Amino acid sequence: MGFKNLLLFFVAFINFQSPFFLPINNTNRKKVSEIQLTEIGKFGLIRKARKTVPSHIHTGIDIKRPNKNYFDEPIFPIAKGKVISKRTDGPYAQLIIEHEINNQTFWTVYEHIAGIKANLNEIVSPGKPLARFMNTNELNKYGWQFDHFHLEILKIKPIQITPDKLHPDRCYNSFSLICYKASDLEKYFYDPLEFLTEHLD
């Protein structure tokens, strides 16, 4: 093997490890089967209308807390990226991250999270927690239906919005509540479990 071939081999070897990880702290952050969804947490489920929300398709997955830690259970980004939007209003707290990996641009949304540690425009990586699951006090306050976090993976850049006084770092909105047909879902979103399965190894 010549020097050039040896070098190519080495480059291939160091690139072998995928830069993607599960967003939760389980024993193996490379194994999609470790993700447990809530009962109505599947991608593409039809969600009934609620008081302030029209009937729509569930555009992400609802990931269960991986254990009984109701204090500080961490949530991580699935890959390196830049925080482009942040809201911190209680049960609707949300981060949107823009990723550019192997010439593919995509966006991830983390919602119903708490204790956000990342700032707007910060570069985040999967080794460091972004936020955590709601703790017991927060769930008692906002409702135990939020005992999960909602993850979306977007194919298309989210909708730019103007931040306001209440949400000074909220710069983008997802397409979550404007998906009424399977074709809308397909246009804007990846199925997170499929996406992770494809990219984890």
The 140-159 contact track toward Zn ion, x by CB under 5 A, reads ----------x---------
Say how far apart CA 89 and CA 70 lie, in whole Å. Answer: 20
Work out whether 62 is an interface residue with Zn ion (CB under 5 A). yes
Q: Kindly tell me which of 101 and 151 has the beta carbon lying closer to Zn ion.
A: 151
Q: Closest approach of Cβ 8 to Zn ion, in Å?
A: 44
Q: Kindly tell me which of 62 and 138 has the beta carbon lying closer to Zn ion.
A: 62
87: nearest Cα among 173, 151, 200, 26: 173
Work out whether 56 is an interface residue with Zn ion (CB under 5 A). no
Q: Closest approach of Cβ 128 to Zn ion, in Å?
A: 24
Q: Closest approach of Cβ 142 to Zn ion, in Å?
A: 14
Work out whether 138 is an interface residue with Zn ion (CB under 5 A). no
Q: Which residues bind Zn ion (CB under 5 A)?
A: 62, 150
